[in-house]
């Protein structure tokens, strides 16, 4: 099966529309900070014959697929194995001082979801892995074996926004005394047993716990908090950044970072806004943009997406 048949990039045309003003000049640089299987990257390279692409991904499997898919553009492509908060180091290693576009497509990639053995899905039994980078050490199995009840409760509450976090943490600690958690089905069984029947009718009880474990394994939120400011710093005047988030915790971080960059720094009550206090970026979208009903129907993975974008107006200082 061709990769294009299993991977449909989310909001592709909208991303191209938003980033185009900064990418028209020959030699413009676009950073795809979450390269994945390179669906967005391939489209940009096709649309912009003079574009240079820097693709970042923490997943070696994704990079291997992207390298093959982008082979026709190899002279314009630089792929880097790194987490996206390493954007500045990646650019410096390539001798690139600033870029004209940055794209983030956050969350779990199609590759990670569709490969059962990666353990991201609560609907299929698999090893409790959940690593986006298979070379890292922390797995969901390690977390379930070593974290205290208090720490489990914290990550379920903070990263899964799970109301039954205390109940689930207690049940997991009790269950691991009998047998270690090795497979996702074991965890699903414990969570389901600990969930009141009325709550089970509201959706799969393991969904938020699996989300929380995935975020903790990959340190997704702390990485994102560093990555967005680093990406903004890399964007040159007239360049743009587009970020697609799929859950509220990520979107909140993106919203705060873009709001800070696009706001005036003038002290309250100052009668005149001095040039150095003027916003460095301007928001290109009011609030967050959602996928159309047509796109959701065609590509269900677009259903929860929240897109935000901004353009650099000037250099700070």
Q: Is 38 annotated as a binding residue?
A: yes
Residue for token digits 């449909």?
Answer: 8
Q: Maximum Cα–Cα distance for the chain, whole Å?
A: 68
Contact 14, 40 (CB under 8 A): no
- Backbone φ, ψ for residue 112 (5° rounding): -70, -35
Q: Which two tokens stand for residue 48?
A: 């912009």
Please, what's the b/e burial string for 62-81 (b: 16 or more CB within 10 A of its CB; e: otherwise)?
Answer: bbebbeebbeebeebbbbbe
Q: What are the start-end ranges of the H helices in the chain?
A: 3-6, 12-23, 39-47, 60-69, 87-93, 110-114, 140-146, 149-160, 165-176, 184-193, 197-200, 207-218, 220-234, 248-261, 293-298
Question: Quick one: DSSP state of residue 289?
Answer: B
Q: Is 101 annotated as a binding residue?
A: no
Q: Is 112 annotated as a binding residue?
A: yes
Q: Is 36 annotated as a binding residue?
A: no
Question: Quick one: DSSP state of residue 309?
Answer: E
- Backbone φ, ψ for residue 240 (5° rounding): -135, 155
Cβ neighbours around 269 below 10 Å, total: 5
By DSSP bridging, strand 281-283 and strand 306-312 are antiparallel
Q: Is 251 annotated as a binding residue?
A: no
Q: Is 57 annotated as a binding residue?
A: yes
Question: Quick one: DSSP state of residue 304?
Answer: T
What are the binding residues for S-adenosyl-L-methionine? 38-40, 57, 84, 105, 112
- Residues annotated within a binding site: 38-40, 57, 84, 105, 112
């Amino acid at each position: 099966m061709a990769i294009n048949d299993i991977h449909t990039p989310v909001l592709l045309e909208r991303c191209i529309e938003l980033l185009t003003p900064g990418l028209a000049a020959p030699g413009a640089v676009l950073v795809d900070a979450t390269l994945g299987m390179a669906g967005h990257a391939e489209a940009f390279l096709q649309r912009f014959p003079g574009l240079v692409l820097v693709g970042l991904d923490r997943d070696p499997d994704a990079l291997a697929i992207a390298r093959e898919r982008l082979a026709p553009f190899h002279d314009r492509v630089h792929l880097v194995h790194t987490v996206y908060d390493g954007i500045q180091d990646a650019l410096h290693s390539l001798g690139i001082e600033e870029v004209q576009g940055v794209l983030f497509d956050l969350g779990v990639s199609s590759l990670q979801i569709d490969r059962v053995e990666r353990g991201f899905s609560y609907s299929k039994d698999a090893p409790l892995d959940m690593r986006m980078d298979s070379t890292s050490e922390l797995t969901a199995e390690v977390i379930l074996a070593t974290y205290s009840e208090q720490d489990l409760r914290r990550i379920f509450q903070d990263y899964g926004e799970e109301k039954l976090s205390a109940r689930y943490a207690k049940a997991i600690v009790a269950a691991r005394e009998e047998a270690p958690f090795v497979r996702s089905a074991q965890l699903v069984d414990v969570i389901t047993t600990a969930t009141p029947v009325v709550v089970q009718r509201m959706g799969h009880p393991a969904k938020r716990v699996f989300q929380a474990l995935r975020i903790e394994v990959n340190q997704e939120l702390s990485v994102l908090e560093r990555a967005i400011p680093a990406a903004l710093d890399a964007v040159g005047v007239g360049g743009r950044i587009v970020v697609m988030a799929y859950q509220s915790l990520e979107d909140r971080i993106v919203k705060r970072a873009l709001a800070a960059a696009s706001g005036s720094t003038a002290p309250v009550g100052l009668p005149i806004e001095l040039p150095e206090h003027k916003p460095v970026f301007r928001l290109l979208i009011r609030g967050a943009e959602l996928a159309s009903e047509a796109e959701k129907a065609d590509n269900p993975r677009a259903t929860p997406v929240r897109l935000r974008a901004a353009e650099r107006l000037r250099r700070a200082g």
